[in-house]
């Protein structure tokens, strides 16, 4: 069951409702999950897109996979929050744009890495043996080992990580609420936004959160 619909205005009084609803339609949300996405999610996507910090298509793709459509996800499977303030809700990763997202995934993968070059590095550290590397002779193999093979394996394992799409489950359907991050210091504020906006849009949500 859905509840309140919002009228959106800028500080100068300009009505942005049509712009935001047209944006949601243009990126496919209205087609994929009609009536099951929050204005809070759309505003996050719109702000990210207009500031060139986020590709909405990547978020929409993960929503498609959650709905059983589109190509399989290469990112981690969805997980339910177990602790307040987001307890009872779920999150699914989406891959951010930029070098930072690539570096984060490669760094995590390196902890479990066992390809030949990195293995030699670990063995050298354990024995205190000095070995010399020629950038001319070894740079290509280093890049291949550390970047390419790592990324390929993460993709095969569907283990890429990223930031979050936060959603609720109710009567067999998913309701997409907002974007979120791993930064726990932001979760309390995020919950306040969900309470203020999403709970007014989806009338079941207050009960779901209160009973979690």
Tens digits of per-residue pLDDT, 17-41? Answer: 999 999 999 999 999 999 999 999 9
Residue 105 located in a structural domain: no
- Nearest CA-CA partner of 59 in 174, 176, 194, 192: 176
Residue 122 located in a structural domain: yes
Number of domains in the chain: 2
Tens digits of per-residue pLDDT, 142-190? Answer: 555 555 555 455 455 544 455 899 999 999 999 999 999 888 999 999 9
Residue 208 has pLDDT above 80, yes or no: yes
Tens digits of per-residue pLDDT, 131-149? Answer: 555 555 555 555 555 555 5
Residue 11 located in a structural domain: no
pTM: 0.74
Tens digits of per-residue pLDDT, 92-113? Answer: 988 776 555 555 555 665 555 5
pLDDT of residue 157: 54
- Do 21 and 55 sit in the same domain of this protein? yes
Cα separation values, 28 from 50, 123, 163, 207, Å: 17, 50, 20, 29
pLDDT of residue 151: 46
- Do 85 and 176 sit in the same domain of this protein? yes
- Do 67 and 170 sit in the same domain of this protein? yes
- Do 55 and 82 sit in the same domain of this protein? yes
Contacts of 171 (CB under 8 A, 6+ apart): 204
- Do 91 and 24 sit in the same domain of this protein? yes
- Do 59 and 33 sit in the same domain of this protein? yes
Mean pLDDT of 45-55: 89
pLDDT of residue 159: 46
Least confident range from 43-52, 60-69, 93-102: namely: 93-102
Residue 25 belongs to domain spanning: 17-96+162-210
**Average confidence score pLDDT of the chain:** 80
pLDDT of residue 158: 45
- Do 28 and 60 sit in the same domain of this protein? yes
- Do 90 and 29 sit in the same domain of this protein? yes
Provide the CATH number for the domain around residue 194: 3.30.2310.20
Residue 65 located in a structural domain: yes
């Amino acid at each position: 069951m859905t509840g309140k619909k919002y009228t959106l205005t800028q500080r100068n009084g300009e009505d942005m409702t049509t712009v935001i609803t047209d944006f949601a339609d243009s990126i496919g949300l209205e087609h994929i999950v009609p009536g099951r996405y929050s204005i809070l999610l759309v505003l996050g996507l719109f702000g990210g897109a207009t500031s060139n910090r986020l590709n909405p298509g990547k978020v929409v793709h993960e929503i498609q996979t959650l709905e059983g459509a589109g190509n399989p996800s290469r990112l981690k499977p969805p997980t339910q929050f177990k602790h307040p303030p987001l307890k009872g809700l779920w999150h699914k990763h989406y891959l951010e744009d930029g070098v930072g997202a690539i570096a984060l995934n490669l760094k995590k993968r390196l902890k479990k890495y066992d390809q030949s070059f990195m293995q030699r590095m670990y063995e050298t550290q354990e024995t205190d043996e000095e070995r010399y590397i020629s950038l001319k002779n070894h740079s290509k193999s280093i890049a291949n080992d550390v970047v390419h093979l790592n990324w390929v394996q993460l993709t095969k394992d569907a283990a890429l990580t990223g930031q979050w799409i936060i959603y609720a489950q109710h009567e067999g359907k998913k309701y997409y609420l907002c974007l979120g991050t791993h930064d726990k210091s932001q979760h309390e504020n995020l919950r306040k936004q969900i309470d203020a906006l999403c709970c007014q849009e989806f009338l079941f949500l207050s009960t779901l959160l209160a009973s979690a």
